[in-house]
């Protein structure tokens, strides 16, 4: 697409806001911590709120409710209130939610197949010495340059004297003396 042309979402390809991609909300939904686990859990059939909480494990009631509401809003989960002496709420996958069974099973199969390999990579990464950060590398480079600019007698080189004299003259507001202009 040529620069500046309009995209179907109404943005231009030079638009700096990548979050305007129409798929972003869906990626956010599947990228959260709980949605995929809930969808997988509901593949076995409808479940009550408490059953889902026990199946998932360490999820708070608030987060479970918020996630289920989001999945219901997206049309992936159907919420049914059952009348009786005690009101019960059951959740089940909609046809759209069931259509995710294949892709989710493929991802889960890939994870099962490669989990040990990934854990080995994680252990190797965690065991190695940490690499210096960019700031540490820049400081080390600056220190090497400062050392290289000193003459063998420990005196600053003409380049360092020039920089220091120029900075001093500029900070005092005076015009540069002739000794500064000749290195």
User: 93 — phi, psi (to 5°)?
Assistant: -75, 140
Q: Return the pLDDT at 1.
A: 43
Counting every residue written for the chain, the total comes to: 183
| Closest to 29 in 3D by CA, of 66, 60, 78 | 66
The residue-averaged pLDDT of 117-126 equals: 92
**What does the alpha-carbon distance between residue 33 and residue 67 come to, in Å, rounded to a whole number?**
9
Span 24-75, pLDDT tens digits: 887 888 888 899 999 999 998 999 999 999 999 889 999 999 999 999 999 9
- Give the tens place of pLDDT for each residue, 20-32: 788 888 788 888 8
Strands 47-48 and 77-82: unpaired
pLDDT confidence of residue 60:
92
Mean pLDDT (whole number) for 139-166 = 64
How many angstroms separate the CA atoms of 4 and 78, rounded? Answer: 42
| Better-predicted residue by pLDDT, 152 or 98 | 98
> Could you give all domains of the chain from N- to C-terminal order, each with its CATH number?
22-101 (1.10.10.10)
């Amino acid at each position: 697409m040529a620069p500046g042309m309009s995209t179907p979402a109404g943005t231009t390809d030079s638009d700096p806001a990548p979050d305007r991609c129409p798929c972003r909300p869906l990626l956010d939904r599947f990228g959260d911590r709980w949605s995929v686990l809930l969808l997988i859990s509901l593949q076995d059939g409808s479940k009550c709120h408490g059953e889902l909480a026990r199946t998932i494990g360490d999820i708070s009631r608030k987060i479970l409710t918020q996630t289920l509401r989001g999945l219901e809003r997206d049309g992936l989960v159907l919420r049914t209130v059952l009348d009786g002496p005690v009101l019960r709420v059951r959740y089940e996958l909609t046809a759209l939610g069931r259509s995710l069974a294949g892709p989710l099973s493929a991802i889960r199969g890939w994870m099962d197949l490669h989990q040990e390999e990934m854990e080995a990579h994680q252990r190797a990464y965690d065991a190695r010495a940490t690499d210096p950060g960019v700031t540490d590398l820049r400081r080390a480079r600056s220190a090497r340059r400062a050392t290289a600019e000193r003459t063998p007698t420990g005196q600053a080189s003409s380049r360092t004297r020039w920089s220091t004299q120029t900075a001093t003259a500029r900070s005092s507001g005076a015009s540069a003396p002739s000794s500064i202009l000749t290195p």
